[in-house]
Structure 1
Amino acid sequence: MSSEQTANILTECIERQGMMAVADNLSSHFPETAIVTVVVVCCFVATKSTYEYIKKRNRKLDLIIVGSGPIGLTTAIIAAQHSRISKITLYESKPKQNLFLRPQQISLDKRSIHFLKSLMIDFNAIEGCWQNDRFYTRVGTFQEHLLEILKKLDANLEIKFGCKFTGEIMRSISKNQNKKLGMIVVCDGVRGDTASLLGLSDEYILCSCNAYGAMASLDRMYHKHVAVPETSKHNFKLDLSAFGSEYRQPELSKPTFRFKIFGTYRHRYLTLSCPKNGSNVLRQLRITSDSSVIRHIFQESFNSYRTKHEKKISDMEAISMHCSRRMTEIKLSYRRENVALIEDENLIVSVEGDATRTINFHTGFEVNMGFRGLESIHQFITDITMANKKDLLIETLTQKVRHSQKVVDEFLRNGLSIPIHG
């Protein structure tokens, strides 16, 4: 076959690809050489690669967020600052005013604060207090600030307060998807049912934190909702010999406890924890049926380590205090399936915060673990929009699962560590 015939055949092929003008130009200049073949193929490949690159660069997602707690609102802030998000819709089952009234206090650690500052969150504008590189504030106050940040961002955002995410809404979304890839981030807490509604497994994995704990709460309604730094006492030893000979043991073998007071002045929480060991005292605190023992520990410990602005817990208050009956094993639970690809609806699902992992010992750990999970969400969105093949999409989901497992592993290593010296 002559070079001219080769050029003619190649020109016909390129014409079918919409490149007739390029072929004519090249054929007129190189009618008798095989160079035309190489040049045109290179042009075609380069043009097609550029087109695919631009197509991937311009691909955007519609994002749905379920839940407007600290994790849900932070997800919205991340998405609002992401160039790959075209629209954000946030569903919250509770009315807006209910969010700001939440009295629980959260403790943000140094790593979470650094992450949140990178998202333009100004801690100087949040009512709270600092201690040892930690920030303490009420959940409602924190959520109010996050909403203010969202208002300032130029994003296509719609927040639907008082609107629960239901199967009917899901069907409506699927109907209007039109093959466009979408994403749902589930942040509706440990009691939420959105993940199950979307078809994700309800199965949780339970991990021991190698420690035992008990908790008490005290409501003092005459106090205001003022954020207070936590008070901790490490290397804490208990003398419970007055409760019977079974609590007595040699001085050198006494177990080391950690006592902690946290929460606002109105709602005070007390926790007692201890690493697993074979001591008589811990064994008795695990099996006792006498709730007065734990109640006595919390009353006496609070009265010894309270802040100078607080009154001691009276005997009457101690009776009304909500208190664990005994020390129980502290466990972390996390959802076995926390990301998914729903192919029929062309949707990516990611479960975050308490909806995917929680600890049965409320000490402020949960919100920090939630922010650990969000540390990968920006890259996750980018990788999803860049993946033009199913195997690349699956690899992106796998990377998110690995990050979630890393959050769990880090907490199990360090989360409940009790210093030898306090």
Structure 2
Amino acid sequence: MRLDYNNKSLREVTMTCDADEIARIMYANTTHISMYFVITLSAVAVFVGTKKIFSKVRREMAQMTVVVVGAGPIGLTSALIAVQCKRVKKLVLYEEQSKSNVERRSYQIAIQSSNVSLLRSYGIDFDNLEGLWHNGCFYTRVGIYLEYIIHVLPLYSTEVEINFGTKFCRESSDVVDNLTGRKLVICCDGSTGLASRALGLSDECVMHSSGIFGAVAAIERNNQTLVPTPEKRVHNLSFDLSAYVSSAYEDDGRTNFTLKIFGNSKCRYLALAVNKCDSNVVRALKTVLDKSMMRNIFLKCFNTYKRSDEASISDSYCLNNMKFSPRMYEIKLSQRIESVAYISDCDLFIITEGEASRSYNYNTGMDINIGLKGLTALQPFIEKVTLAETEHSIMKSLLFKMEHSDRICTEFLKFGLREYMFL
């Protein structure tokens, strides 16, 4: 049977109704999907925005505790840099000696001009430090420098805890492990210090040759006071060894030595250096066992090139009061292989600075400067490790510090001793 509906078949009417219904359903579904998409997109936007805000707040508030081991010039300078870093909420200092012994340390330090600029940027007021300026370098007694920093550390907003007369040992490392939050330990307890070993770092070192031979001597005059004095350098020296060695070791004219006299008025030091070579005189000074040869070289050098206001020293005084290297030796730089580490269990970073990280077997009076150059990366390193969250960012921070330490050693081997002795 066939029914007409506006001249359309039933099937056509049915199909028309189905299409309208489908259109209405599709429109409704599309509306729901759009609303769902908008709601989802809004939720994601809120989540991402909240996460960014939370991450920004967390980064702005991220802080850590810094522990410094050793109250020498490098240790206290590290502490001074740390308390001025906004990422450091607390500073803890360990020093084996008493405060009075630290401030009485008598040897003289010489800070070269580039490091004077660095220290000024961290608030060191050289105008209020007892010392002497000469050719852009600042000379002072180390105890004066240390006393100044000890005095100014508590003036900053960072919480400071100083433990004098307290040796850092394994029990101390347990205390550090139990501190809340992220920690950084800076080991500045010298080449013979045990702090880094107590924290698990290897004490294995690699030795680098500087390509220079040297010898040193020290004269202590107890009748003098501790007055800072500038250094004096003398170049192109030669020595007549005919009284001590055979004609086979006579000067062949190929060797020129450099002499440096430094130290305060009470403790005078002499450093002798020559570029590595195999000349007759150098071979004699390296191999001859007669100690009087080196003693007389240092005696004559001092009396000839001392300051004009200094008294000469006699043979007998030299015999009883001079300590010296009996022969020339190769000057070498010792570099710690493992100078930075991270212990994830207790969220602890460890680094070594100063002679705990690198040292050499020779005294030029400017030995503090290689340690200060290592500290130029300390503040950015603190910033990096405080914010490091992933394993990749932590490793990147450690790599930054290791590469900087390697660069310090490389530059010193190329320019350091030549700058401190030959220029």
3-state SS of the aligned residue for 1:277?
coil
Task: Name the CA shift for 1:82/1:4 in 2 (closer, same or farther; >3 Å).
Answer: farther
3-state SS of the aligned residue for 1:417?
helix
1:181-220 residue pairs with structure 2 within 5 A? 181-220=182-221
Q: Answer yes or no: is 1:47 the counterpart of 2:80.
A: no
Letter in 1 for 2:252: P
Q: Which structure 2 residue ranges, 5 or more long, are not aligned?
A: 1-25
Q: Answer yes or no: is 1:304 the counterpart of 2:304.
A: yes
Which residue of structure 2 lines up, in the alignment, with residue 22 of structure 1? none
Letter in 2 for 1:334: Q
C-alpha distance in structure 2 between counterparts of 1:420 and 1:64, whole Å: 35
The partner residue of 2:249 within 243, 247, 252 is 247
C-alpha distance in structure 2 between counterparts of 1:162 and 1:50, whole Å: 45
Task: Name the CA shift for 1:127/1:419 in 2 (closer, same or farther; >3 Å).
Answer: closer
3-state SS of the aligned residue for 2:362?
coil
Q: Answer yes or no: is 1:152 the counterpart of 2:155.
A: yes
1:258-337 residue pairs with structure 2 within 5 A? 258-320=258-320, 321-337=322-338
Which residue of structure 2 lines up, in the alignment, with residue 413 of structure 1? 414
C-alpha distance in structure 2 between counterparts of 1:165 and 1:301, whole Å: 43
Which residue of structure 1 lines up, in the alignment, with residue 112 of structure 2? 109
Contact 1:66 1:165 survives alignment (8 Å)? yes
Q: Answer yes or no: is 1:143 the counterpart of 2:146.
A: yes
1:46-195 residue pairs with structure 2 within 5 A? 46-177=49-180, 180-195=181-196
Contact 2:82 2:91 survives alignment (8 Å)? yes
Q: Which structure 1 residue ranges, 5 or more long, are not aligned?
A: 7-30
Contact 2:91 2:160 survives alignment (8 Å)? yes
Letter in 2 for 1:69: G
Letter in 2 for 1:402: E
C-alpha distance in structure 1 between counterparts of 2:251 and 2:113, whole Å: 39
Q: Answer yes or no: is 1:230 the counterpart of 2:224.
A: no
Instruction: Give the number of the structure whose alpha-carbon radius of gyration is greater.
Output: 2
1:361-372 residue pairs with structure 2 within 5 A? 361-372=362-373
Contact 1:354 1:366 survives alignment (8 Å)? no
- Once the two structures are superposed, residues 155-177 of structure 1 have per-residue CA deviations (whole angstroms, 9 ceiling, x without a partner) of 20010111111211221332343
CA RMSD of aligned residues (A): 1.9
Task: Name the CA shift for 1:335/1:4 in 2 (closer, same or farther; >3 Å).
Answer: farther
- Once the two structures are superposed, residues 234-266 of structure 1 have per-residue CA deviations (whole angstroms, 9 ceiling, x without a partner) of 222223233332331333x2x111101111111
- Once the two structures are superposed, residues 175-202 of structure 1 have per-residue CA deviations (whole angstroms, 9 ceiling, x without a partner) of 343xx21111111111110000000001
Q: Which moved more, 1:144-153 or 1:314-323?
A: 144-153
Contact 2:131 2:228 survives alignment (8 Å)? yes
- Once the two structures are superposed, residues 254-303 of structure 1 have per-residue CA deviations (whole angstroms, 9 ceiling, x without a partner) of x1111011111111111101010121000110111011111111011111
Task: Name the CA shift for 1:420/1:376 in 2 (closer, same or farther; >3 Å).
Answer: closer
Contact 1:246 1:284 survives alignment (8 Å)? no
1:130 to partner: Cα distance? 1.1
3-state SS of the aligned residue for 1:322?
strand
C-alpha distance in structure 1 between counterparts of 2:296 and 2:248, whole Å: 17
- Once the two structures are superposed, residues 204-254 of structure 1 have per-residue CA deviations (whole angstroms, 9 ceiling, x without a partner) of 110001011111111100000011001111222223233332331333x2x
Letter in 1 for 2:170: G
3-state SS of the aligned residue for 1:227?
coil
1:144 to partner: Cα distance? 0.8
1:418 to partner: Cα distance? 6.9
Which residue of structure 1 lines up, in the alignment, with residue 341 of structure 2? 340
Task: Name the CA shift for 1:307/1:198 in 2 (closer, same or farther; >3 Å).
Answer: same
Contact 1:339 1:400 survives alignment (8 Å)? yes
